[in-house]
Structure 1
């Protein structure tokens, strides 16, 4: 349900997102989730993807598909945080067709934040931690 998500991003679909069966291919759903997460981290959390000391690496992801999405309809991605640890965060993402209350897909995505050079776990600090705390589901 839509009311369980905290942050929203509308993502346009592209002609090439559809597969031969006439709907968005399953691998594209993961790109939608990644886009929703990183859009938020950059815009609200100050994540510097090009030069920051720490980066988030995906260590786990999943997606449950419930209904097809298709070009040319945009996708409405709802985002929330289910768990926030010292160096990791588990997001939950709902992908919705416009005007629907039931997600076409629901996924999880776990980031472990690491030092860019050593790849060792790094504590999530300001300004990223307060931004992630805003996404914790009530």
Structure 2
């Protein structure tokens, strides 16, 4: 489910049993997975698929993660649904940097803040390549107003 916010989007994600560590809280490495789930949900809703033959972004299939940063605030100790607030912090010629906040479902608790940078890779040369106009248009919908 996608809910509109002032800027960006909210994506509902589920905490799974295998996200928890031996202490019964979400393992620190799984926060990146929660953000990944939210990003996948957004892009699938925009027409991106894992198959270039059926995706409306056939030239933007290879997006390599360059950097991820996460700041942890409040541990997640349940397998309840969460909301991930996503937005685009920077849209470059060949890269995109997302911001994210992992929130409780009712938005009363901030669990973590994250940033993720991806670079488009040309599948033939394995070098960075420009993002397509279609991809850029879908990404711009996640940018804060100027």
Q: Is the TM-score greater than 0.5? A: yes
Aligned length in residues: 135
Residues 54-95 of structure 1 deviation map (CA, whole Å, 9 limit, x = unaligned): 311000001000001123211111100000000101000110
- Residues in 2 aligned to 1:75 and 1:62: alpha-carbon distance in whole angstroms: 19
In the alignment, what sits opposite 1:118?
125
In the alignment, what sits opposite 1:58?
65
- Give the aligned CA root-mean-square deviation in angstroms: 1.7
In the alignment, what sits opposite 1:49?
50
The alignment's TM-score, normalised by the length of structure 2, stands at: 0.83
The alignment's TM-score, normalised by the length of structure 1, stands at: 0.88
Counterpart of 2:10 (choices 4, 8, 11) is: 8
Shift of 1:4: 6.2
Shift of 1:36: 1.4
- Residues in 1 aligned to 2:108 and 2:90: alpha-carbon distance in whole angstroms: 24
In the alignment, what sits opposite 1:84?
91
RCO higher in structure (CA 8 A, sep ≥6)? 1
Structure 2 unaligned spans of 5+: 53-57
1:106 aligns with 2:113: yes
Structure 1 unaligned spans of 5+: none
Are 2:59 and 2:132, in contact at CA under 8 Å, matched by a contact in 1?
Answer: no
